[in-house]
Amino acid sequence: MNATASAGGTHRPLHLAVALDGAGWHPAAWREPGARAGEIFTARHWTDIIATAERGLIDFVTIEDSLTLQSEDPFSRSSDSRTDRVRGRLDALLIAASVAPATERIGLVPTVTTTHTEAFHVSKSVATLDHASHGRAGWQVKVGGTPGEAGHFGRRTLPGIRRDLASDPVALAALRERFAEAADHIEVVRRLWDSWEDDAEIRDVPTGRFIDREKLHYIDFAGPHFSVRGPSITPRPPQGQPVVTALAHHAIPYELAATSADIVFVTPHDDDQATGILAEVRQAERRVGRTGRPLKVFADVVVILDRTTDAALRRRRRLDEAAGAPLFSDAHIFTGTSRELASLLLRWRSLGYAGFRLRPAVIADDLVSVVDGLVPELQGAGAFRTAYGQRTLRERLGLPVAANRYASTPA
């Protein structure tokens, strides 16, 4: 066993997350018989699929969102005009809040964009989700800023970012600026979560004291992007700090995750990339001077699962034909059986990955295959839980207790 595998721990139970978007990550998913396309914009659709994920003991689900309509080209100046794709979304954070009372243990991690949004609003909204879910909330940070998004708000204009950053120093500088703003945004949110101490609420009817004002703190954040005094108007979340996650494909996003997040989602396509990307993330941690626990690194995988490899390949070809083009993704597209997928995940775990975020190509089919096929395979290998244990998402992920930076003594 190599040093990396030894350090990562080949016998650690792995973590599983599921990324949810519309009817699934294949453009033709909504056209499948079981997709319930007419319910995509209903609370029942989201409650049902997240309940399925909870039945499979999944650590958490992420819910995709953005500030503009979906497009085949994320670098485009506007959404495309295709009408054979799912277009439009419900607000991810409000979906999570609506699902929270209907679930008990699974983590709920909506996507919230930092660009154009106010950190104060994000702080109180995610804190409210943590209260509503009794400590199961997280936040998938997304850095936006396309011209189409800017046009929806009308407060500022932003230069477009091209794919080839290395040949475009202006785009690279714009990207760095956007991620610097995101880092400040997350810092403000985290400080606001700490602005109430855990025991700030007294609720003492005889004395008429509801809060101890001495245990509410100004955060007095002043920077180039935000100037926020605080404190929050929402009591400290049950987890203290809900789990912060980010998807990253490049050195600059790796550095944002290393500075500000608990989990980073990455997109290796093979064993060599899996090793190389993990090394890049650790280098980013050293560059930004991250102290304490290293980032938990999850690999994203699009999954098309069936009883046999041939059946999975046939289903993929049929979906591609319906979409009019082969499936393309930033992440590895796995097509095969649950046993074969389990083998891949266990191999990448041995490299040092803490977990995996699976993107079902068709939620109606592939999420069920994850729950009823993949999970038992991993359990049989002793690599996945057989029951939910810890109550909060932080505890389940093995994250430390979130100390309050403003408290004079720990609660």
pTM for the whole structure: 0.93
Identity (one letter) of the amino acid at 255? E
Please tell me the distance from the alpha carbon of residue 401 to that of residue 159, in angstroms, as a whole number: 40
Give 112-168 as a DSSP string. Answer: EE-TTS-HHHHHHHHHHHHHHTTS-BEEEEE----HHHHHHH-S-------S-GGG-
Closest CA to 56 of 404, 382, 387, 389: 387
For residue 332, the surrounding DSSP H or E stretch is strand 332-336
Spell out the per-residue pLDDT of the chain, length 411, in tens: 333 333 334 467 899 999 999 999 999 999 999 999 999 999 999 999 999 999 999 999 999 999 888 887 655 555 677 888 999 999 999 999 999 999 999 999 999 999 889 999 999 999 999 999 999 999 999 998 677 777 777 777 666 666 566 567 877 888 899 999 999 999 999 999 999 999 999 998 998 889 999 999 999 999 998 899 999 999 999 999 999 999 999 999 999 999 999 999 999 999 999 999 999 999 999 999 999 899 999 999 999 999 999 999 999 999 999 999 999 999 999 999 999 999 999 999 999 999 999 999 999 999 999 999 999 999 999 999 999 999 999 999 999 999 999 997 654
Question: What tens digit of pLDDT does each residue of 264-296 get?
Answer: 999 999 999 999 999 999 999 999 999 989 999
- Spatial contact of 145 and 115, defined as CB atoms under 8 Å apart: yes
Domains and CATH numbers, the chain: 3-155+243-396 (3.20.20.30)
Burial track 104-131 (b if 16+ CB lie within 10 A, e otherwise): ebbbbbbbbbbbbbebbebbbbbbbbbb
Most distant pair of Cα atoms in the chain: their distance: 72
